[in-house]
A and B are shown apart, each in its own frame.
Chain A
């Protein structure tokens, strides 16, 4: 088996507080293969964005990486001197941000922003860099790129701006795009177009994608494999199909159950009761146990670890961090019984 393009092992990110610290990312491990599109889902505050930003050293102050290992093509780059590490990471990965307006320099023409990296980093000439920029603009579906090259960010629509951001991320010729909720600020139609651009990049240019989103619909349209995060940890991973059809962690299960089904009328939308845990305190036992419909005594005592589930058929390993994973098949009946008994 060839080494994955990017592998992260046991990443911990802390945010120091005036008293104590917020342990926001608690030992996340994930990998993305060459030209693979992987989704990282979870609710707000689950640490998914921090994980992504930590990969490029772009953590907002005062968050910091406590420990963790990053491997590119199977090679551990964590030990490299800071400058080389930054270079290695930015050569491999490009980043697309959530809000395309703030991610663009307001006083610079969009074309120049795309041409900048080829010009300054890849050492192209001015005219070559411009040609590259116009090619990239065409590639991300911007009509009439020659004219739009000279526009400023505020003169473009939201969808166009996000396309420009994708073009900028592509301008360094990365093999992997990190996208942090790239479509959250866009309406559904434009969202579909932008996702289309990302999908096609993968197919036609072999650019991998690591997409962070809280939106299961977005992820299911784009990614083939998912990591589900809860309270700073990966609680389940597997292929999109496996996760959606047979979730092996109660959080994924509850999350999927909360997506309304247009064919079934329900009196009220299903939610997950309670609040995510306070990450500034130590959590004994499973972090989801207080909200979990299947939690037992043991779940509050013992912390489950991410472990392979079922028969590891195929290359993709299915993992779940749940003590009661063996009962997963009966979860649907268990909750319906509960609802019945409540009525």
Chain B
């Protein structure tokens, strides 16, 4: 393979053109990642940050306000340390939130890919199913499904997957409709590559970004759904700490002890903010 065997004029070798990289770190992305990393770190290091057992009751210490000598964020109606419930609650909520987004993300994207690529009756059937699921408000359907299956994390995962995949399906399908008319998709077909290969290697990487960005905000929505389920008593069963249950417990005392619901509420807001910033950052990075 010397240069002599090449056809066409040989151009001088260019060196050092690799510098142009797509996008760089940007402020929202960094801020979001740092904030989210902090939250995750707090959840992981919960036993190091607090010495209290989150389910250990101590009725004589009940209703301590934030800033009390041994309880930084106070105690709840049963005398449990709010800080440790908050930290251990993060473990539960983040795990459920992220896991409950992964399966609808994967399932919805694959179905959307198939729907958009094959079109015809396949697309029509999938489209009608999607319409049916979307016809119901998200929470109403999730609540109904969890109610039917009984409270617990498994029911939450299943219900959110059954309802949540439609959003990913729609996003990916729309992107595939555009991408499959692109010449690179045609070129892949012209090379006679197997269909699954074209779908997974050529189309998926080009259409998944939008779905991924949506999944960031979807974690927030899912988190809120879990919190709502907890508030309605359909969430993580007590005494396991979780933010939704904490908000609900504080609700009865909202007029006299506003901080009981506000503190876990703030935790939800902060997590949502972190994920929303990450999503913004990814979009900005990709559009550069």
Contact = CB atoms under 8 A, between A and B. Distances in A.
Given A99-B183, A135-B1, A151-B18, A196 B189 contact: no
A143 interface: yes
Interface stretch (B7-15, B133-141, B215-223): B7-15
B202 interface: yes
B3 A172 contact: no
A106 B202 CA distance: 9
B9 A141 contact: yes
Contacts of A200: 7-8
A117 B188 CA distance: 9
B196 to A, nearest CB: 10
A108 B202 contact: yes
A120 B18 contact: no
A295 to B, nearest CB: 39
A299 interface: no
Contacts of B184: 102-106
A196 B9 contact: yes
Contact of A204 (B7, B183, B189, B205): B7
B189 A58 contact: yes
Contacts of B238: none
B207 to A, nearest CB: 10
Interface of A: 53, 56-58, 60-61, 86-87, 89-91, 93-95, 97-99, 102-108, 116-117, 120-121, 134-135, 138-145, 147, 151, 154-155, 163, 165, 168-169, 171-172, 193-194, 196-197, 200-201, 204
A260 B8 CA distance: 29
Contacts of A97: 183, 186-187
A138 to B, nearest CB: 5
A121 B205 contact: no
B190 A90 contact: yes
Contacts of A56: 189-190
B193 A141 contact: no
A166 to B, nearest CB: 9
B20 interface: yes
Nearest to A61: B181
29 contacts: A53-B186, A58-B189, A60-B181, A61-B181, A87-B192, A90-B192, A102-B182, A102-B184, A103-B187, A105-B184, A106-B206, A108-B202, A120-B193, A120-B194, A120-B197, A121-B192, A139-B5, A141-B8, A141-B10, A141-B11, A143-B10, A151-B18, A154-B20, A169-B190, A193-B8, A196-B7, A196-B8, A200-B8, A201-B7
A165 B191 contact: no
B7 A197 contact: yes
B212 to A, nearest CB: 13
Nearest to B206: A107
Interface string B1-41: 10101111111111001101010000000000000000000
Given A91-B192, A99-B183, A141-B8, 20 more contacts: A57-B189, A58-B190, A90-B191, A97-B186, A104-B184, A105-B184, A105-B188, A121-B191, A138-B5, A138-B6, A141-B10, A143-B10, A145-B1, A147-B13, A155-B18, A169-B191, A196-B7, A196-B8, A197-B8, A204-B7
A55 B281 CA distance: 44
B70 interface: no
A200 B5 CA distance: 11
Chain B interface residue number, banded: 20 to 34
Contacts of B190: 56, 58, 90, 93-95, 169
A165 B187 contact: yes
Contacts of A99: 183
Contacts of A107: 205-206
Contacts of B285: none
A196 B11 CA distance: 14
A143 B8 contact: no
B7 A139 contact: yes
A194 B12 CA distance: 16
B90 to A, nearest CB: 34
A170 B181 CA distance: 22
B283 to A, nearest CB: 16
Interface string B220-255: 000000000000000000000000000000000000
A198 B191 CA distance: 18
A24 to B, nearest CB: 17
A171 B191 CA distance: 8
A102 B183 contact: yes
A154 B187 CA distance: 17
B191 A172 contact: yes
A138 B192 contact: no
A93 B192 CA distance: 10
B201 interface: yes
Q: What 5 A-B pairs have minimum CB-CB distances, sorted nearest first? A: A141-B8, A90-B192, A200-B7, A103-B183, A95-B190
Contact of B192 (A53, A104, A117, A141): A117
Contacts of A197: 7-8
Contacts of B192: 86-87, 89-91, 117, 121, 172
Contacts of A154: 20, 22
Contacts of B186: 53, 58, 95, 97, 103
A60 B197 CA distance: 21
A200 B8 CA distance: 8
Contacts of A117: 191-193
| Among A60, A104, A105: residue with most chain B CB under 10 A | A105
Contacts of B12: 143
Report which residue of A134, A143, A154, A172 has the largest number of chain B beta carbons within 10 angstroms of its beta carbon: A143
